[in-house]
Structure 1
């Protein structure tokens, strides 16, 4: 199970060494539940990522307010950790709150842009854009 996003941010601030931060990202990726075959559908594939990335966003309407439910996976360990970051940031938010959340700001705050390849940075942006589009679509469906 993933820790809350605030805990992840605190952990990143506590870890000074980038090799340790990479290991932490990989551990976050390992905390994701195993992906089933349905997650790996072409419709869930994120375009613009060098590694293969799949994201599935849905809305849970069982509570008083609709909430996003996210699943994700990647074929690369560090990228799977980046997927875990996105899930920790967005899972459980209302579609409106998710649409107003700047995922790339978290990426910048954690200093990832300075320590990951440009290809991985582009992949994070592609994930963030995909989540934003889906959240806006779900928020619009709320009325």
Structure 2
């Protein structure tokens, strides 16, 4: 696969500043880093973003995530590896990523389940992180950004 556009052309100083602010806001609300990484990986899998799947899995592994959990993210409902809070976050990520698949993009039961596990501030950060992940996925898929062949 060859990129349609050099991704560096998209990252102007004001864009980088805005992205850093989104990242900081999402990661400063007290959500476990592992939950944010799982959500990022799942949304990226759904969107077919090779760059984010690759980088997300590597970052999660570097931060202590187990192979069992990483290998099972796409089938999280059918595996015993995830906590109830992580399952709620993954369900929210899937619904928010697949908004057009249902008339009610994020049904109340999915939202309410997440709200049982996270504070309002954490929920806001989780929604922001899901949106940020989808933002990057759409840029990378649209411009055909390949995952690096060698991370060195």
TM class by smaller structure: 0.3 to 0.5
More strand by share: 1
More helix by share: 2
Q: Which has the higher contact order (CA 8 A, sep 6+)?
A: 2
User: Under a length normalisation based on structure 1, what TM-score does the superposition of the two structures give?
Assistant: 0.36
